[in-house]
Amino acid sequence: MNRLNRTSSRRDFVTRVSAGIGAFSLVNALPSLSAASSVNKSSKLGIAFIGLGNYATKQLAPAMEQAEDCYLAGIVTGTKAKEAVWREKYGIKKENIYNYENFDLIAANADIDIVYVVLPNSMHAEYTIRAAKAGKHVICEKPMALTAKEGQTMIDACEKYNVLLSIGYRLHFDPNTREIMKVAAEKPYGKAQYVHSEAAFIMGGNKGWRLSKEMAGGGAMMDMGIYSIQAARYATGEEPIAVRAQEYKTDQDKFKEVDETVTWQMEFPGGAYSNSMTSYNARANRLYVSYQKGAALLEPATKYTGIKGNIQKRVLEVQPINQQARQMDGFAQSVKSGTPSIVPGEEGMRDMRVIDAIYRSLANGGRRELI
Ligand code: NAD
């Protein structure tokens, strides 16, 4: 299926969608995940992955096989050997295979509706903007950019070229995580007063670009800390106004360029506060929320599968869903039906502003307000 402007003007479409985004707030608008039941399922949208690394290969491509509203139509890779492997495994047409040099020719390819940017963090902005310029809708992996300023250039480009932008926040498509968002929106136990969120793992070996400040923009904070920020935001249903952050390194040598372990606190306008942790050299994966009249726990809170916990005495069992399939279908449904992504570029920007403030606090110390 080709782009939207076959039937209606792309400008009209994005104007409509942008109006929806303007009204969007993290927990006050919880669109149904099956909202696209009216969508014509016979017309799957074509997605092209750019960056066939670990996440694209081991998670996204297998997940795509479970998707109902989109399919893997193309790939962009700089590694010749991967072309034949992916062609054979996923039946990708030869003419839908691009490299980093000829990527812009994708503009003329009617099979590709969406480009999914799964590259190192420092390349997100460039390829999101190039994809937008080629007239393709974009899913960009988290963190959306290296800074909020850079993130804004991506939003501006997508607006300019009338395409939709979504960030790869798969947890927004997990039913148990959405239960936490719903409690924040409906407040059956009163307001959240305290949140504790942790997302950390022990990085074995030398993980290439993730240890480079230039390529990753930062360390554990950029990679896993963003989940702890997200968790505190959706558990309170509010946007933080100020942060204080502290950094520790247990391995000075390995993590000489990027942050290894960071703890930080966030203040929310309604009076709630959070305490969070991220690390490349510790294990943690948890979200605890204390409400005025109760508590909730997710543990694990950010993994690809097995998210479970409880809200008060109600047990949240593991849900047999594929987060990435739902996420990609969700965006395909947005594009098809002209409704905003539930995780638009603006959602990525909210985290980038917090990350900017955390890095300002690490550099200069003390309490830093969000700007
Ligand atoms: P990876 O290193 O496994 O893959 C990166 C890909 O980019 C490789 O195919 C590599 O060849 C390609 N590449 C192109 N130019 C490159 C360059 N100059 N240097 C290095 N690689 C280059 O990384 P990954 O784990 O797949 O992560 C990719 C992105 O996906 C990151 O932004 C990461 O944060 C995100 N991610 C998201 C999730 C999630 O759950 N949403 C999970 C994992 C990774």
Instruction: Provide the pLDDT for residue 22.
Output: 31
* Annotation marks residue 44 as catalytic: no
What the chain holds in terms of domains, given with CATH numbers, is 10-171+326-344 (3.40.50.720), 175-318 (3.30.360.10)
Does an H or E element contain 60, and which?
none
pLDDT value, residue 129: 98
| Minimal-distance CA residue to ligand 1 atom 12 | 51
H or E element in which residue 204 lies: none
Residue ranges in 35-101 assigned as alpha helix (H):
54-55, 61-64, 80-90
Residue type, 246: Q
CB 145 within 8 A of CB 346: no
Q: How far apart are CA 159 and CA 216, in angstroms?
A: 26
- β-pairing, 137-140 vs 242-248, is unpaired
Task: Count other C-beta atoms under 10 Å from residue 369's C-beta.
Answer: 11
Instruction: Tell me how far CA of residue 102 lies from CA of 44, 82, 252, in angstroms.
Output: 25, 16, 40
- Sites in the chain below the pLDDT cut of 70: 1-42
Which amino acid residue places its CA nearest to atom 8 of ligand 1?
53
What CA–CA distance (Å, rounded) separates 72 from 91?
9
Q: Which two tokens stand for residue 18?
A: 């942008």
User: Which of 86-101 are b and which e, b meaning 16 or more Cβ less than 10 Å from the residue's Cβ?
Assistant: beeebebeeebbbebe
**Which residue stretches of 298-344 are H helix?**
323-337
Distance CA(336)–CA(39), nearest Å, equals: 7
- Dist CA 5 CA 136 (whole Å): 11
Residues 65 and 47 sit within 8 Å (Cβ to Cβ):
no
Residues 172-209 as b or e (16 or more Cβ within 10 Å = b): bbbbbbbbbbbbbeeeebebbbbbbbbbbbebeeeeee
Q: How far is the CA of 110 from the centre of ligand 1 (A)?
A: 26
User: Taking the CB of residue 103, how many other CB atoms lie within 10 A of it?
Assistant: 18
User: What's the DSSP call for residue 144?
Assistant: -
The pLDDT assigned to 101 comes to 96
Q: What is the pLDDT of residue 5?
A: 35
Confidence at residue 339, expressed as pLDDT on a 0 to 100 scale: 87
pLDDT of residue 42: 53
**289 to 62, 206, 311: CA distances (angstroms):** 33, 35, 9
Residue 302 CA: nearest ligand 1 atom is 40
Pocket test residue of 49, 101, 118 for ligand 1, highest count of atoms within 8 A of CB: 118
CA 84, CA 86: separation in Å to the nearest integer?
A: 6
CA angle (150, 105, 346) in 5-degree steps: 25
Q: Tell me the CA–centroid distance for residue 92 and ligand 1, in Å.
A: 21
Q: Do residues 181 and 169 lie in contact, with contact meaning Cβ atoms separated by under 8 Å?
A: no
Residues with CB under 6 A from ligand 1: 51-56, 78, 118-121, 141-142, 168, 170, 208-209, 223
**In Å, how far from its chain's centre is CA 128?**
14
Please identify, by atom number, the ligand 1 atom nearest to the C-alpha of residue 209.
Answer: 20
142 is catalytic: yes
Answer whether 284's CB lies under 8 Å from 205's CB. Answer: no
Q: How far apart are CA 125 and CA 148, in angstroms?
A: 11
pTM to 2 decimals?
Answer: 0.92
Please state the atom number of ligand 1 nearest to the C-alpha of residue 168.
Answer: 41
